[in-house]
Chains A and B, each alone.
Chain A
Amino acid sequence: MHEFYVLQEFMLHTKGIVYILMVAILLGMVGFWHFLTGREED
């Protein structure tokens, strides 16, 4: 497990992961929306 010595290190680590996750989620949501509505008639 990653060792943290000060709060700043912890925040940098967790925020960094959350930012990467958010980019993945935003892209994933676009793909998921296309999958969900792909066969809908206009």
Chain B
Amino acid sequence: MSEESAVVTGKKPFVPGKSLLTPFNIIAGIIVIVGLFITVLRFTKGLGTVTNLDDNYPWGIWIGFDLLAGVALAAGGYVTSAAVYIFGMKRFHSAVRPAILTGFLGYALVVFALHYDVGRAWRLPYPFIMQQGTTSLLFEVAACVALYLTVLFIECTPAPLEWLGFKKARNIAVKLTMLLTIFGVVLSTLHQSSLGALFLLAPSKLHPLWYSGYLPVFFFVSSIIAGLSMVIFESTLSHHYFADKMDETHMNEKEGVALGFGKAASLVLAGYFSIKVIGIAVDNNWHYLATGYGAWFLVELIGFIALPCLLYAVGVREKNLTLIKWTSGLAVLGIIINRLNVCLIAFNWHLPSEDKYFPHWMEIGISVFIVTVGILVFRFVVTRMPILYEHPDYKDSH
């Protein structure tokens, strides 16, 4: 099989003498082995052995990073499919499949990570079959994440079905696209905001600069920024590492995707910055800005909201793709910092520093393990299935 035919069919050519022992594989292998070792410890010895969680901090980085940041960064799926299928921006079509795949893997890993925190996996369906009522925000989040994971799974299926040659099943899945996109946008709007609303329960624990009646709005709006930036960020990495898997359409559209998504992210960041400032004004929290926490809040507000907003705008104006790509990394980092601030850093702000939470190395180990599993599965899928190229049997069938 030639290299060219391998790309269009998705089947990897056999390269004699090519070793699997690449630096990436070795590092990923070590992380996976350590992760599996910690997993065994977690499920045999309990949370106390592998975490620094306590009564003040029942939620650590497995919630702050793996879940809150994970869900926000997986927003690229609904943002991209809404832009292409609902708003009719067909010029971004090549970005849909990688974005949906990233979204699906993101949500799947969020649920996977939740098992480490919750423990007994067989109790995961409990919110639906054994509960006190449906007014809990956690019920709403559980219902939406479960449904949206199912939606993303079905949205993902055309690629593996094309790869396996199941034409009829693939055509049925494609016909559901519009319905699933609308359902996905509704579910995402609900649970992205509900994750912020969870913290409305703790006005005395969360620092006033981060606590606001607008927290659900902040979480939802920032998820759009996370989704747009993540698509640019993921596309940059894919173009670097999987360029040989991309077809001409993907290559031709990449500049337009970066410019279009960068422009949208810049506008949404400007809006997000505005409502964050209004959030301070509504609660009259200006005096807190002169404190240590205030300085950290300003770092987030200026360094990770206003700065990427301006850099995206300059990048779009000057058509500077390198600047847009680097800015997407800054914006993604900003969203992670925001979720960690709300969940951990500005949480329990009254506590003395010796009682503050810092994650155990094994908690960090599990988070790194989960991200690595995501990268490995992403690599497995894009090197085999028609994600970054159109399958020759279905060209122009969208």
Q: Which residues of A come within 8 Å of B, CB atoms?
A: 1-2, 10, 13-14, 17-18, 21-22, 25, 28-29, 32-33, 35-39
Contacts and interface: CB of A to CB of B under 8 A. Distances in A.
Interface stretch (B85-93, B178-186, B232-240, B270-278): B270-278
B278 A38 contact: no
A3 B316 CA distance: 46
A21 to B, nearest CB: 6
A35 B282 contact: no
Given A36-B266, A38-B317, A21 B277 contact: yes
Contacts of B274: 21, 25, 28-29
Nearest to B273: A25
Interface of B: 263, 266-267, 270-271, 274, 277-278, 281-284, 287, 313, 316-319
A13 B317 contact: no
Query: Chain B at the A interface: mostly helix, strand, loop or mixed?
Result: helix
A21 B287 contact: no
A36 B263 contact: yes
10 contacts: A13-B284, A14-B282, A21-B277, A28-B274, A29-B270, A32-B267, A35-B313, A36-B317, A37-B263, A39-B318
B281 A14 contact: yes
Contacts of B287: 1
Given A32-B313, A36-B317, A21 B278 contact: yes
A17 B287 CA distance: 14
A18 B282 contact: yes
A18 B284 contact: no
Given A25-B274, A32-B313, A39-B317, A14 B267 contact: no
Contacts of A21: 274, 277-278, 281
A8 B102 CA distance: 49
Contacts of A29: 270-271, 274
A15 B323 CA distance: 38
Given A1-B287, A25-B274, A29-B270, A36 B281 contact: no
B284 A14 contact: yes
Contacts of B266: 36
A28 B267 CA distance: 12
A29 B274 CA distance: 10
A13 B281 CA distance: 9
Contacts of A36: 263, 266-267, 313, 316-317
Given A1-B287, A14-B283, A35 B317 contact: yes
A18 B283 CA distance: 10
B125 to A, nearest CB: 44
Nearest to A2: B284
Contacts of B281: 14, 17-18, 21
A32 B282 CA distance: 24
Contacts of A1: 287
